[in-house]
Amino acid sequence: MKSKYKVCILAAGKGSRNSWAENSHKALLPVKNKAAISFIIEKYLDAHEFVIAVGHNKELLKDYLIIAHPKTKIRLVNVKNYMNKGSGPGQSLLECKKYLQMPFISHACDAICTNNHARPNKNWIAYDYKKKENQIVATIKRKKDKDLFYKSVIKEKTKIFIGVAGIYDYKKFWLNLESQNYYSNKFKSKLNTEKQMLDGFYGFEKKDINLIKYKWWDIGTDYNYRQFLLFNKDPKNLILPKKNEFIYFQNNLVIKFFIDKKTTQLRYKRSKIIRSFMPKKVRSMGNYLYYPYIKGTILTKINSKNTFTILLNKLKKYLWKTKKLNKKELKIFKKECDLFYQYKTYKRIDLLLKKKNSLDKYEFINNSKVPSVRNILKKIDWALLSNGFPVNFHGDTAPNNIICQNSKDFKLIDWRESFGSLIYYGDIYYDLAKMYHALILPQLLDTGNYIEFKKKKKKLRSNLSLLTTYNYL
């Protein structure tokens, strides 16, 4: 009979090293179509209970766990000190102590391990190798002195502690963690003194602690998280990730997280306004919108003129229904179109060129002389664009947001919360433009398969492979 154990996930800290988690939580960062905390939980399905230390944005974690893991035995522990002097993984563990009176595993919420986990049938520390990194880490060395952990900047291939450990002798561990601060003092900086969980291992004989090699990704920093995304693409979800919203596939649900709670509320409301083609049982909780997972194939992957024609006819009949507006409403609509097209375009271009002004330096593209981006924008007839056609709209009818359940049944996902400030109607040409654009250049992580650039001084050559569906337009 296997002995019981618990898992303590340390998720109280703010995670200031990763801008993706700046306004959310690093435990909610998407990891292979799941939130990081779900990825970790699913590694320990035989655990007796999950004790999760929470602090920063704890309500976001609480709501997510209710939606994604309703049947999992989870206890949330509110950590009072999670960002001031003396905070840190050791302090978080101490505040969870009374719920961890049996062998347990401590797991940092930004440590993504792809191997099978070890059970806490003995004391162990998980490590992986790092070659060179500027940040200060806890390295593991079997020297003759009493220390197991050393504070260092990695200059060569080195064993480092990854924030995952198994504690079998939990009574001794707690006594050590409460009574002294050996590693906390050793690892302190001028700006910060964290309570380190490593203090719990001080006083253990080295022979009583096993070192276990793990396959590990640290998603705690921007660079490391980008590297993780780059090397762990999932063919089932090639959508470009955004910093203001995340998507998860968990518990047979599609779960969308929005940093702005108002966005969630509006999207839920718009699902009732759109009605046709919407997923069944769309629900919301806090910052989350969720609905049952829809089986089917995205339009991007379908090569059928007949299917595409049926789709357009159905959209015209059931979604793009004309909205009759009075003079006042029509005036507001045209103003919204102008703001949506002209103002928003200039704002985005200005922001882009402010960051990367060099993008506008090319005078020739594919041997054709081209004006600057701003000069191109001056030639656009904005008044014509603002003369839109009001209909019930979706807001992002890109082929990757259209799921074909068969050649005649379709579901639309990732609808927008508004057209400018309008929620009951928008411009049909915006829906058509989103579809047209995405048929030419997919909004997917494998976009590199479709487009190629070659640069030389002020000349640029591009080679674009159009999607098969594009030929039907």
The pLDDT, as a whole number, for residue 468 is 54
- Amino acid letter at 32? K
Q: Tens of pLDDT along 166-206?
A: 999 999 999 999 998 999 998 887 556 789 999 999 988 88
What was the pLDDT predicted at 156? 75
Average of per-residue pLDDT across 275-290: 96
The 10 Å Cβ neighbour count of residue 106 is 27
Of 18-27, 72-81, 367-376, 444-453, minimum mean pLDDT range = 444-453
User: For position 190, what pLDDT does the model report?
Assistant: 56
Q: State how far the Cα of 70 lies from the Cα of 445, in Å rounded to an integer.
A: 31
Distance CA 114, CA 116 (A): 7
Instruction: Choose the weakest-confidence range: 170-184, 202-216, 232-246, 366-380.
Output: 232-246
**pLDDT confidence tier of residue 235, bands split at 50, 70 and 90:** low
Q: Are 136 and 190 in contact (CB under 8 A)?
A: no
Q: Which one is predicted more confidently, 228 or 37?
A: 37
Q: What is the pLDDT of residues 15-53, one digit of tens each?
A: 778 888 888 999 999 999 999 999 999 999 999 999 999
Per-residue pLDDT tens digits for 394-412: 999 998 899 999 878 999 9
More confident residue, 300 or 50: 50
Residue 278: half-sphere exposure toward Cβ, Cα within 13 Å: 22
